[in-house]
Structure 1
Amino acid sequence: MSKLTNKQIRHLRGLAHDLKPVVIVGDKGLTESVIEETLVALNAHELIKIKIRAEEREEREQMIEKLTQKTKASFIQRVGHVVTLFKRNKDAKIALPK
């Protein structure tokens, strides 16, 4: 996937504003099942929010980094414990500005 422009990221942030987290990373951390569930949600919606229940900021950042690498998704934003990811599907659901 090509890199998103700042304009596209702003557009996706706006779309994500009203979304609720569809995946929650719990006490066991970033397991294979969490990564699988994230991929399923990304394939279904393209743009999703994930709640990460890790107290340490450093630990959350590492989980976000690993999750974006494993799913090949684009990081859109992080607000507190909630991260927004985007991954373009073959049949695009979200129209992105140029």
Structure 2
Amino acid sequence: MLTGKQKRYLRSLAHHLDPIFQVGKGGVNDHLITHIKEAIETRELMKISILNNNMDDRNEVAEEIAKRSDAQLVQLIGKTIVIYKQAEEKENRTIELPRK
């Protein structure tokens, strides 16, 4: 579980990032989750955008993506989701979180 200080730090790092994936009218599916899991292992922090043609509740979409990709939801602002997951391999770890 991330503390408020850690989330604030991750939001500052994510500010300049562009969304890598988009959730369209097909919603959250296994194919999307597989790609997110692969990408988050090397990046640790990423943005995902929800397109206007997606009619699902954006809060539910964000929660589902975070849960199914074993990541933590950092922020949901508008239709942009920011998620974080520490890389399992030490050489892929680039983000050092502030202490609690």
> TM-score under structure 1 normalisation?
0.89
Q: Which moved more, 1:60-69 or 1:43-52?
A: 60-69
Q: Find the counterpart in structure 2 of residue 81 from structure 1.
A: 79
Q: CA deviation at 1:59?
A: 1.6
- Residue type at the aligned position of 1:36: T
Q: Deviations over 1:60-94 (max 9, x none)?
A: 11111111111111111111110000001122210
Q: Find the counterpart in structure 2 of residue 62 from structure 1.
A: 60
- Residue type at the aligned position of 2:31: S
Q: Find the counterpart in structure 2 of residue 33 from structure 1.
A: 31
Q: Deviations over 1:49-68 (max 9, x none)?
A: 00012555x62111111111
Number of residue pairs aligned between Structure 1 and Structure 2: 95
Which runs of no fewer than 5 residues in structure 1 stay unpaired? Answer: none
Q: CA deviation at 1:12?
A: 0.3
Q: CA deviation at 1:24?
A: 0.8
Q: Deviations over 1:28-59 (max 9, x none)?
A: 11111111111111111000000012555x62
- Does residue 1:16 correspond to 2:14, yes or no? yes
Which runs of no fewer than 5 residues in structure 2 stay unpaired? Answer: none
Q: Indicate the RMSD between aligned Cα atoms, in angstroms.
A: 1.4
- Residue type at the aligned position of 2:98: P
The separation in 1 between residues aligned to 2:41 and 2:24, in whole angstroms, is: 22
> TM-score under structure 2 normalisation?
0.87
Provide the identity percentage.
33
Q: Find the counterpart in structure 2 of residue 47 from structure 1.
A: 45
SS, match of residue 84 in structure 1:
strand
